[in-house]
Chains A and B, each alone.
Chain A
Amino acid sequence: MVRQPRYRQFSGVFIAREDRVRDNDAMIRLERVTKRFAMPGRADVVALDCVDLDVARGETVCLIGASGSGKTTALRLVNRLVEPSEGRVVVDGRSVAESDPVALRRRIGYVVQHGALFPHLTVGDNVGLLCALEGWPAARTRARVEDLLDRVRLPARDFAERYPKELSGGQAQRVGVARALALDPPIVLLDEPFGALDPITRRDLQDEFVDLRRDGDRTMLFVTHDLAEAFALGDRVALFDRGRILQVGTPDDLRDRPADEHVATFVAHHAGGVGR
């Protein structure tokens, strides 16, 4: 395994975040969660099988695995887009089953592939939509939108009045991130946000994501199928396989101390892509 410079550059951050995990100050906790999807005319599909996962306040955990391994289902449990069949999901000390889904989701930013911007709204309106729904005064919303667009390096002056169809893939994805941060949520869920981008744009966005992560105290769950991305962006990485978590640990843990053969094989198999 050759360590790439870019990778090493961030390893200090991972160690710093380790402390928070040890505090056992869990912001997100999945407790023995099982999720079965009913399939008409066939046996249920078990998407998650008795999964436990703790994510500390301020920590970024990347969920990685093949498609169908359950990583996206795990993510969607947190903002109640999916309800568990068994077990419990706790966010900030409170079971999500007892929270109002709308109130819960407004405290949890949500970023999906391609940005999923609303094509009938301008970039500014997309970003400011939740502020408007929260009843913010227009001036405050406008200021917030400008601030957010600046942070994702899309000056409001140039971009606020554009429509999503006038953006490149990378720009749309940045707007998607800005929109998720509109209400400054303590938690952000990202579902393969950079999955469909070309490699160069993707690396730019990954770098920006690192910056973004530094300037807040956000807890993030980041689904990806790219091990390099997971190692670069996650404080810890959870490796999913057929509805179970094989190992949760720092990138170093997974690489140097794999829990079993499967983890070792997975890391070795995908190592060629790490760092490049």
Chain B
Amino acid sequence: MSALRVVAWLVVLVCAVGAQSFVVGSKNFTEGRLLGEIVAQYVRATTRLDVEHRADLGGTMLCWKALREGEIDCYVEYTGTAWSIILKEQGKTADPLRAFLHVQHEYRRRHDIEWMAPFGLNNTYVIAVRRAVAERLGLTRVSDLIGRGAALRARFTPEFVEREDGWPGLRAHYPGLDLEPLGMEHGLVYTAVANDEVDVFDAYSTDGKLLRYDVVLLDDDRGFFPPYQAAPVVRGEVLRAHPELRDALSRLAFTIDDRTAMALNHRVEVGGERFADVARAFLRERGLIADDGRVPQAAPARDDRGPLFTLWRDRGRIGVLALQHLGYVALALAITALLAIPLGVLVVRVPALRAALLGGASVIQTIPSLALLAFLIAVPWVGLGEQAAIIALVLYAVLPILRNTVTGLESVDPVLVDAARGMGMTPRQVLWRVRFPLAIRTILAGVRTAAVISVGVATLAAFIGAGGLGQPIVTGLYLNDTGRVLSGAIPAAVLALAVDGVLGLLTRVLTPRGLRE
């Protein structure tokens, strides 16, 4: 027995052991992860394969990339997503079966990846309306919304606002639909619905939270929303090596309908139960398994991708968003200047207020901006969108302007102040005729700092439905589309530089001639 043969046997053995492991990935949202966990537990329980579940892998593109590169063997995909995002099909179909057969065929042909039989649920978009509003206006179908736009406050997720299979397509499919939706983070929408601040929003038809809020789901009566049937997708190579996988996965077919999915999602999201426990309970209740699975491990991953062409393609819309962005910044700065400069004067004249005002402004500055926005929209009279965004911008701009006003007024040469007092100027005259003109440059430097900060903070306005250049950024993050992120981030950076430059010029003009270099 030569050493060579030992090595050859070892290689075979290692290959065999390696092939025995089956890696299930899942997308990083509740249902994706839950279905991944169900697949993992079921395969583990019914085959000899060593199953690993990599939850929280990321969004669609990350899972897709991992699958194609063999980093994972399987994950749960939706037909609609495969249709539009992976296959990038131009046309559309509302027929679930046709869609499924098409993506199955194309995946097999192009990528050697197999679609298993679907779970049964169709997690498509659905338009939801607060029940009180729906009953008052008699809304049951999407077409009932036509002509009602003026009376309804619509908030859609940034993704939905942008996607062809979302709002733009819906509007084209239902002519006369006149909603004026603003983008808003999905997690915040439900709070807003509970506070009666939103009437119409988009949801996923299997969202567990829909069970908890008093909403009506409108019937897609003209068949616009594409089907999003969930099914495991598996690498063909793996299926050929382990034919038992096909049998195992086909036994999961049509075991989870929309209501079941909603209830399972609800148990995790609202009930706070662990994914592994909910999956195991489901499999047991259905009589699919009898033994335990392992607790899933999270494995983070990243992706870098995306050309800049989005910026050029969307230039018209980006321009509108940039103007909106600039509008917020300008309005917030004007309000802040009118507020913070007099406060700075007050601090100089009443030193007792110093700690409270400067300290307070500093504390506000340390609050993470998203936390501040989330807090603001929870305050009933602030509401959503524009007001909250402007209030947040004002709060962030106060510190630089206030601090520079105080510093500017206090750092005026004491000899000049002494001369002014000594020659018989009243305290008010000393302030407005000596201190203030001499401090104006420092004060304007504070305004300039605040402006640049505001341009940055204003990108977060998109999270609360106020639009601006943050909108493509937020959407891009959701769609994992770097090009789209940059199409918001680059103009925001350019805007910051431009604002800085313009305020620099303004500072020159407003500086008294005797003080200029």
Residues of A whose CB lies within 8 Å of any CB of B are 76, 79, 81, 101-106, 108-110, 112-114, 116, 118-122, 129-130, 133, 163-165, 179-180, 189
Contact = CB atoms under 8 A, between A and B. Distances in A.
A105 B423 CA distance: 6
A108 to B, nearest CB: 8
A206 B248 CA distance: 109
Nearest to B438: A120
B434 A119 contact: no
Contact of A110 (B423, B426, B437, B513): B423
A79 B415 CA distance: 16
A133 B426 CA distance: 10
Interface in B203-229: none
B334 interface: no
B421 A116 contact: no
B419 interface: yes
A220 B167 CA distance: 84
Q: Which of B415, B416, B422, B433 has the most CB of A within 10 A?
A: B422
Given A102-B426, A105-B424, A180-B423, A116 B514 contact: no
B425 A133 contact: yes
B515 A116 contact: no
Q: Which of B419, B433, B434 has the most CB of A within 10 A?
A: B419
A130 B424 contact: yes
B429 interface: yes
A102 to B, nearest CB: 5
Nearest to B423: A110
Contacts of B424: 101-106, 108, 130, 133
A112 B422 contact: yes
Given A118-B434, A120-B437, A102 B425 contact: yes
A118 B514 CA distance: 9
Closest 4 CB pairs of A and B: A105-B424, A163-B514, A120-B512, A116-B419
B418 A122 contact: no
Q: Which of A113, A118, A120, A121 has the most CB of B within 10 A?
A: A120
B510 to A, nearest CB: 11
Interface of B: 415-416, 418-426, 429, 433-434, 437-438, 512-515
29 contacts: A81-B421, A102-B425, A103-B424, A105-B421, A105-B423, A109-B423, A110-B422, A110-B423, A112-B422, A113-B415, A116-B415, A118-B416, A118-B420, A118-B433, A118-B434, A118-B438, A119-B438, A120-B437, A120-B513, A120-B515, A121-B514, A122-B514, A129-B423, A130-B423, A130-B424, A163-B513, A163-B514, A180-B423, A189-B422
Nearest to B413: A116
A223 to B, nearest CB: 13
A269 to B, nearest CB: 30
A51 B438 CA distance: 38
Nearest to A108: B424
Nearest to A162: B514
A112 B429 contact: no
Contact of A119 (B418, B422, B514): B514
Contacts of B420: 118
Given A81-B421, A106-B424, A112-B422, A119 B415 contact: no
Given A163-B514, A164-B514, A165-B514, A116 B425 contact: no
B513 A116 contact: no
A116 B429 contact: no
A106 B422 CA distance: 9
Contacts of B419: 110, 112, 116
Contacts of A118: 416, 420, 433-434, 438
B424 to A, nearest CB: 3
B416 A79 contact: no
A109 B422 CA distance: 8
Given A120-B512, A122-B514, A129-B433, 8 more contacts: A76-B422, A81-B418, A104-B424, A112-B418, A120-B437, A130-B424, A164-B514, A179-B423
A108 B423 CA distance: 7
A79 B419 CA distance: 11
Given A116-B415, A118-B434, A120-B437, A79 B514 contact: no
A113 B421 CA distance: 15
Contacts of B415: 112-114, 116
A89 to B, nearest CB: 15
Nearest to A164: B514
Contacts of B421: 81, 105
Contacts of B438: 118-120
B420 to A, nearest CB: 8
Nearest to A76: B422
Contacts of A163: 513-514
B407 to A, nearest CB: 18
Given A81-B421, A163-B513, A163-B514, A116 B426 contact: no
A105 B422 contact: yes
Contacts of A108: 424
A110 B416 CA distance: 12
A116 to B, nearest CB: 4
A113 B413 CA distance: 13
A120 B429 contact: no
Contacts of A129: 423, 433
Q: Which of A112, A113, A130, A189 has the most CB of B within 10 A?
A: A112
Contacts of B437: 120
A173 to B, nearest CB: 13
Nearest to B426: A102
Contact of B514 (A102, A109, A120): A120
A119 B516 CA distance: 10
Contacts of B429: 133
Nearest to A182: B423
Nearest to B434: A118
B323 to A, nearest CB: 36
A116 B418 contact: yes
B357 to A, nearest CB: 24
A163 B422 CA distance: 21
Nearest to B422: A110
A133 to B, nearest CB: 6
